[in-house]
């Protein structure tokens, strides 16, 4: 289980970002032609009333005593070119926008109400070419659409796999259930970021025993895992009634997940962060062998997470190729390198058990994950640029 | 080294008893008193301004003889009083043909603000089978027991528990290490070192004279910590009072020490956007102000709404969940340190926060909060608790007596 991923997809972090204007908070000093904006209770002082076209950075400081916002508006005074919300008193936030030459308005909105304090702003022609937003939009629609189809396909497979798994387990056919466990969970792991965005399903389906909260009832995959691969001492096998109950719940949750993903939509930043999040998940749980405490099938999960991260990345790739080709190449190369290391541990249709890996082999996997994760963590900011 | 003794000891007393509490508290005050006396109403190393370095050690008691244990506590107290005054661990002169009484690596170094704080673990009172080890089980504090399992704990038995603990803090790591080394040496045969932890870069301020330091996540830590300048709050939240536990009145004037070794997932944190980092913490990284605005010490406004009516400070942020308003008004005095123990087998930095807190009662002042943090805190995703300990910290010893006398002498 990974609670971080659910935060990345469901949290407010992503909700506020738009493609045109990416906001960030850079604490370092001004310079590089940055403009400073001071938003008081009644005024909106901008350090200059013009800037050359290209990337323009407004460092907005709120010296008033209410929450304020800052907008860059188009010449009609209505269309928002870039905005930054929720600047609280005395804090400074950056608005980074790419703007073509033309007439604009700057606007602060103390208290977040009313028309705001507007002033004319001119962007002069620096000769720099800006990318057309129309193409970006088409690329985004394609990327997010493809990803939605992928998630639907994987949840289809997860559901049918879980049906067979649950059937074998309930019938007491443990050998079959053990054989189906890892190959079925791989579909879950591939879409873990999405599955975990539904806060209620993740704890019910994927909680590890060590992560349980006091009073929390343990259900889901890992409870069954422990029953299928019981510890040598101190474990009492589940009764038939308990088996049926936990199996039925897992199937019910999987059906809920399946139905919710029919209509789920995605954003490019959600995909970028989700892709990175899947690799974090590998780094935190799989490469340490903590995820599959009893079955030791961590490498199946590992592959699932990598698959899911790769699909999200591949879907974003056309955008990234435009925005940051060097980063695109770096990430692609490192995906290939990681897969190569992982492939060394294939055995039959699956993988070696985690316990069969040497310390050196685990370290090699970890290094490959680090090498990929570092550039991958920059993808979201790059596609939003 | 001996030459420093006389004047230094006198200075130390003045510094602790009245000096630092009444000194003007300014952020640029960089000359704290270099010595804190070992004897006093409370043990030093709790309300003392947090020093920069830590060596924490937990011991198993190996003797079964009560008198041997008491003798050790006397010897520890005596050596601690000397070392905190900047002297060698022992006044004894040894033969040229015997090993020196003091190990020597702190010779020539000043006291460096050394404090030594001694605590008693649950195992001192009863062994694993519940047997009264030294005839003191009936006087065991009710709240002293192994902390419960919190969600996400991955505790290493080799870094947890212990019958006794020593917290040695100093502004010079060599001085702190020297103190633990010599106390461990004195203890051989009576106690065995179970585990220990080095810490650097204090991660909280315990005095308003100190600037707020940063933890390894890069954020200011301890902004809202209890401070030595608030004696009323210390009485309310840190010192055990008479009547708190009728079966353990000997603990009055003492406290409880919660130790947690908290590993940070440094690598994944470093791949997290600043936006996400600040949302997790609830504060601005650069200046430490709450995301509801203001400066570092501005009150946090959890009710403030932003665009769309959603709270500016995430309800699952660390600052929100750790705040007294979320925890029934309780506060704790934190004294944690950053640690880095090299790297692990995966080539990751083995680092984090060695959390130490002093509380009047862990059942009200720590366990409920940690239960909440472990299950709800956004930061929890980047943390793993790998070590744990709970100790009862007796009150300070009178000059000539020893820490623990109130327990063993039946005060």
Q: Is the pLDDT of residue A266 over 60?
A: yes
User: For the residues B205-233, what does the mean pLDDT come to?
Assistant: 88
User: For the residues A134-151, what does the mean pLDDT come to?
Assistant: 88
User: For the residues A156-163, what does the mean pLDDT come to?
Assistant: 97
B-chain residues near A62 (CB < 8 A): 293
Interface check for B283 against chain A (CB to CB < 8 A): the answer is no
User: What share of chain A has pLDDT > 70, as a percent?
Assistant: 90
- A290 and B293: CB-CB below 8 Å? no
DSSP state of B132: B
Q: Is the pLDDT of residue B24 over 60?
A: no
Task: Please report the domains of chain A, with CATH numbers, ordered by start residue.
Answer: 34-124 (2.60.40.420), 134-384 (1.20.1420.20)
Interface check for A40 against chain B (CB to CB < 8 A): the answer is no
pLDDT tens string B70-87: 999 999 999 999 999 999
What pLDDT is attached to residue B221? 86
Least confident of A32-36, A91-95, A363-367: A32-36
Distance CA A224, CA A31 (A): 58
In which band, very low, low, confident or very high, does the pLDDT at A131 lie, cut at 50, 70 and 90? low
User: What share of chain B has pLDDT > 70, as a percent?
Assistant: 92
What pLDDT is attached to residue B206? 81
A-chain residues near B378 (CB < 8 A): 7
Q: Which of B268, B284, B311, B385 to mutate to test the interface with A (most CBs of A within 10 A)?
A: B268
Which of B151, B268, B380 lies closest to A212 in CB terms? B151
What b-and-e string marks burial along A238-270, b requiring 16 or more CB atoms within 10 Å of the CB? beeeebeebbebbbebbeebbeebeebebbbbb
User: For the residues B158-170, what does the mean pLDDT come to?
Assistant: 97
In which band, very low, low, confident or very high, does the pLDDT at A215 lie, cut at 50, 70 and 90? confident
Q: Is the pLDDT of residue B227 over 90?
A: no
Contact, A267 vs A193, CB < 8 A? no
Distance CA A89, CA B346 (A): 43
Distance CA A228, CA A233 (A): 14
In which band, very low, low, confident or very high, does the pLDDT at A256 lie, cut at 50, 70 and 90? very high
Q: Which of A10, A30, A86 to mutate to test the interface with B (most CBs of B within 10 A)?
A: A86
A-chain residues near B304 (CB < 8 A): 67, 88
What pLDDT is attached to residue B33? 56
Contact, B111 vs B35, CB < 8 A? yes
Minimal C-alpha gap between A379 and chain B (Å): 11
* Mean pLDDT of chain B, nearest integer: 90
How far lies A365's CA from each of A277, A332, B286, in Å? 17, 17, 35
How far lies A242's CA from each of A141, A155, A171, A200, B8, in Å? 46, 26, 13, 21, 70
In which band, very low, low, confident or very high, does the pLDDT at B217 lie, cut at 50, 70 and 90? very high
Contact, B208 vs B229, CB < 8 A? yes
Q: Is the pLDDT of residue A3 over 60?
A: no
User: For the residues B251-256, what does the mean pLDDT come to?
Assistant: 98
A-chain residues near B348 (CB < 8 A): 366
User: For the residues A201-215, what does the mean pLDDT come to?
Assistant: 90
Interface check for A63 against chain B (CB to CB < 8 A): the answer is no
What pLDDT is attached to residue B211? 86
Asked if the ipTM is above 0.85, the reply is no
pLDDT tens string B96-143: 998 899 999 999 999 999 999 999 999 999 999 999 999 999 999 999
What pLDDT is attached to residue A369? 94
Which residues have CB under 8 Å from B182's CB, separation 6+? B79, B83, B89, B90, B102, B103
* Mean pLDDT of chain A, nearest integer: 88
Interface check for B153 against chain A (CB to CB < 8 A): the answer is yes
Contact, B156 vs B387, CB < 8 A? yes
Closest C-alpha among A344, A343, A341, A321 to residue A331: A321
Interface check for A19 against chain B (CB to CB < 8 A): the answer is no
Which of B152, B285, B310 lies closest to A211 in CB terms? B152
In which band, very low, low, confident or very high, does the pLDDT at B31 lie, cut at 50, 70 and 90? low
């Amino acid at each position: 289980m990974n609670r971080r991923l659910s935060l990345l997809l469901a949290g407010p972090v992503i909700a506020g970002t738009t493609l045109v204007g990416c906001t960030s908070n850079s604490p370092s000093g001004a310079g590089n032609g940055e403009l400073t904006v001071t938003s008081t209770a009644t005024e909106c002082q901008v350090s200059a009333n013009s800037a050359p076209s290209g990337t323009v950075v407004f460092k907005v400081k709120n010296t008033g005593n209410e929450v304020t916002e800052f907008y860059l508006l188009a010449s009609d005074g209505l269309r928002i070119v870039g905005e930054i919300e929720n600047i609280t008193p005395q804090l400074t936030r950056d608005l980074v926008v790419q703007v073509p030459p033309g007439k604009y308005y700057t606007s602060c909105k103390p208290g977040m109400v009313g028309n705001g304090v507007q002033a004319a702003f001119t962007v002069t022609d620096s000769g720099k070419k800006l990318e057309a937003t129309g193409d970006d939009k088409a690329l985004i629609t394609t990327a997010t659409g493809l990803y939605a189809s992928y998630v639907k396909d994987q949840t289809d497979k997860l559901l049918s796999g879980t049906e067979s798994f649950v059937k074998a387990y309930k019938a007491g056919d443990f050998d079959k259930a053990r054989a189906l466990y890892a190959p079925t969970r791989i579909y879950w792991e591939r879409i873990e970021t999405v599955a975990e965005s539904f806060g209620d399903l993740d704890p019910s389906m994927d909680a590890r025993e060590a992560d349980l909260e006091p009073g929390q009832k343990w259900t889901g995959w890992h409870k069954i895992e422990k029953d299928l691969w019981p510890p040598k001492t101190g474990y009492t096998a589940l009764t038939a009634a308990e088996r049926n109950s936990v199996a039925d719940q897992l199937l019910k949750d999987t059906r809920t997940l399946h139905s919710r993903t029919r209509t789920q939509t995605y954003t490019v930043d959600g995909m970028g962060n989700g892709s990175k999040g899947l690799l974090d998940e590998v780094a935190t749980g799989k490469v340490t062998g903590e995820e599959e405490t009893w079955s030791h099938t961590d490498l199946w999960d590992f592959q699932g997470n990598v698959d899911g991260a790769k699909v999200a990345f591949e879907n974003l790739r056309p955008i990234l190729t435009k925005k940051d080709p060097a980063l695109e190449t770096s990430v692609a190369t490192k995906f290939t390198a990681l897969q190569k290391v992982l492939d060394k541990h294939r055995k039959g249709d699956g993988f070696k058990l985690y316990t069969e890996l040497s310390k050196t082999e685990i370290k090699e996997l970890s290094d490959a994950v680090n090498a990929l994760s570092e550039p991958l963590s920059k993808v979201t900011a790059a596609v939003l640029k | 080294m001996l030459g420093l003794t006389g004047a230094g000891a006198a200075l130390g007393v003045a510094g602790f008893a009245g000096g630092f509490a009444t000194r003007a508290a300014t952020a640029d005050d960089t000359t704290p008193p270099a010595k804190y006396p070992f004897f006093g109403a409370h043990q030093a190393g709790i309300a003392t301004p947090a020093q920069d370095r830590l060596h924490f050690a937990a011991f198993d008691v190996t003797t079964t003889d009560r008198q041997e244990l008491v003798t050790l506590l006397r010897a520890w107290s005596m050596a601690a009083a000397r070392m905190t005054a900047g002297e060698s661990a022992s006044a004894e002169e040894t033969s040229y043909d015997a090993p020196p009484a003091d190990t020597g690596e702190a010779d020539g170094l000043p006291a460096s603000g050394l404090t030594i704080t001694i605590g008693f673990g649950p195992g001192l009172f009863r062994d694993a089978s519940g047997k009264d080890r030294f005839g003191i089980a009936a006087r065991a504090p009710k709240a002293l027991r192994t902390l419960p399992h919190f969600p996400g704990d991955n505790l290493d038995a080799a870094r947890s528990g212990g019958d006794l603990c020593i917290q040695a803090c100093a502004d010079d790591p060599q001085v702190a290490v020297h103190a633990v080394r010599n106390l461990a040496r004195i203890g051989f045969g009576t106690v065995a070192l179970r585990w220990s932890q080095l810490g650097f870069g204090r991660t909280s301020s315990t005095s308003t004279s100190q600037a707020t330091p940063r933890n390894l996540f890069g954020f200011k830590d301890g902004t809202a910590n209890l401070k030595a300048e608030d004696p009323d709050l210390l009485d309310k939240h840190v010192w055990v009072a008479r009547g708190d536990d009728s079966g353990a009145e000997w603990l009055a004037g003492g406290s409880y020490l919660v130790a947690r070794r908290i590993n940070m997932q440094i690598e994944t944190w470093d791949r997290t956007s600043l936006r996400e980092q600040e949302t997790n913490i609830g504060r601005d990284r650069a200046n430490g102000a709450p995301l509801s605005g203001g400066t570092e010490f501005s009150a946090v406004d959890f009710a403030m709404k932003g665009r769309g009516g959603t709270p500016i400070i995430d309800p699952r942020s660390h600052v929100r969940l750790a705040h007294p308003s979320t925890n029934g008004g309780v506060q704790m005095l934190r004294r944690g340190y950053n640690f880095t123990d090299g790297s692990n087998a995966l080539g990751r930095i083995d680092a984090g926060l060695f959390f130490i807190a002093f509380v009047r009662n862990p059942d009200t002042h720590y366990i409920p909060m940690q239960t909440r943090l472990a299950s709800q805190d956004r930061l929890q995703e980047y943390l793993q608790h790998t070590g744990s300990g709970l100790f009862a910290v007796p009150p300070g010893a009178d000059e000539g007596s020893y820490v623990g006398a109130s327990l063993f002498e039946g005060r």
